[in-house]
Homo-oligomer: A and B are copies of this chain.
Amino acid sequence: MKKKRPTLQDIADQVGATKMTVSRCLRAPETVSQGLRERIFSAAEKVGYIPNRAPDLLSRATSHSIGVLVPSLTNQVFADVIVGIEAYAEPAGYHLMLSHYGYSPELEERSLASLLSYNVDGIILSDRNHTQRSLRMLETAGIPVVEIMDTHRPPLQQAVGYDNVNAAFDMVSEMIRRGRRRVIYLGVRLDERTRQREQGYHQAMQAHALTPVALHSSQRSSYSVGSALLKQILSDYPEADGIFCTNDDVAVGAYFECQRQGIDVPGEMAIAGFHGHDVGQAMTPRLASVITPRQAIGEAAAKALLASIQGEAPAGNVIDLGYRIESGGTL
């Protein structure tokens, strides 16, 4: 019942040639005589030929696709990064194979195995924590790897991103410079980046002889978690005069809660977020945030990866695209 999809042979049969000639005609038309060429093209059109990457994938072990592993697709940060990756990779003829692993190294390992089984030509990873088996697989696969979002630690091969520790340090320092003394850190999830931001927060507080206080939620980041954490601060740390949030979702959620509670921002409470997402930048007052170059990171990562795939392998390369402190109207 199910009709097989047309192959080169089907076209060849129609025009009385071999599939080799058809193959040549489709990839280098000028090497085939004009009459035959025209008949081949019209036959291809007629049977509805669709190229098939499977043989290439098998015989040359190359897929013209790159694997991208992100912890979450609903996290706007990674959506932006992916857009950047594709902006560079797609025009270069590379297809993206996306997987997400919900911040779990074990799931990352499984997703990685799956991607490798499709013979991806390169991999972009969004984390720096990998299982032993993951590292092993990457090694035996022998393909280029680029890690993104974190330039703080030495990379497997190459890394593109910014320094989370320094970014957090700078933002918190700015809050302190503006007179805040009891700034509290709000974290969600326990991924590497959240920890690094907390570390930068710690360093900044201690550099000014202030006492760091961190509040965490194990839930995934959301506005409502921000609201909940702010309520907790009001009851447990009423003396707080500022919060530094691990991302904008939490910060905006906390701001909404301040509105509800009638707390003046920034008068009574300073609020800073991370990443500079649209909501925070569109609302009034504008949310103070660390603006990260997410799309640029995606593009640079794709560029570095394709360069490696095409031969040049600048291993140990770290591209730091920096960040910008936006003080907005909430400091």
Query: Interface residues, chain A, CB within 8 Å of chain B?
Result: 2-6, 47-48, 50-55, 57-58, 61, 63, 65, 73-74, 76, 79-80, 82-83, 86, 95-100, 113-119, 136-137, 139-142, 222-224, 227, 249, 252-253, 256, 259-260, 278-279, 282-284
A53 to B47, CA, bound (A): 27
B282 with A256: CB separation less than 8 A: yes
A74 with B79: CB separation less than 8 A: yes
B117 with A50: CB separation less than 8 A: yes
Number of copies: 2
A227 to B26, CA, bound (A): 51
A74 with B76: CB separation less than 8 A: yes
Enumerate chain B residues within 8 angstroms of A6, measured Cβ to Cβ.
Answer: 140
The distance from the CB of A315 to the nearest CB of chain B, in whole angstroms, is 13
The distance from the CB of A11 to the nearest CB of chain B, in whole angstroms, is 12
Counting from the closest, the 6 A-B pairs by CB-CB distance are A223-B282, A48-B140, A54-B58, A54-B57, A74-B79, A98-B98
A223 with B48: CB separation less than 8 A: no
Enumerate chain B residues within 8 angstroms of A224, measured Cβ to Cβ.
Answer: 278, 282
Enumerate chain B residues within 8 angstroms of A259, measured Cβ to Cβ.
Answer: 284
The distance from the CB of A264 to the nearest CB of chain B, in whole angstroms, is 15
A222 to B86, CA, bound (A): 21
B74 with A80: CB separation less than 8 A: yes
Enumerate chain B residues within 8 angstroms of A51, measured Cβ to Cβ.
Answer: 113, 117
A316 to B300, CA, bound (A): 45
Enumerate chain B residues within 8 angstroms of A284, measured Cβ to Cβ.
Answer: 256, 259-260
Enumerate chain B residues within 8 angstroms of A227, measured Cβ to Cβ.
Answer: 282
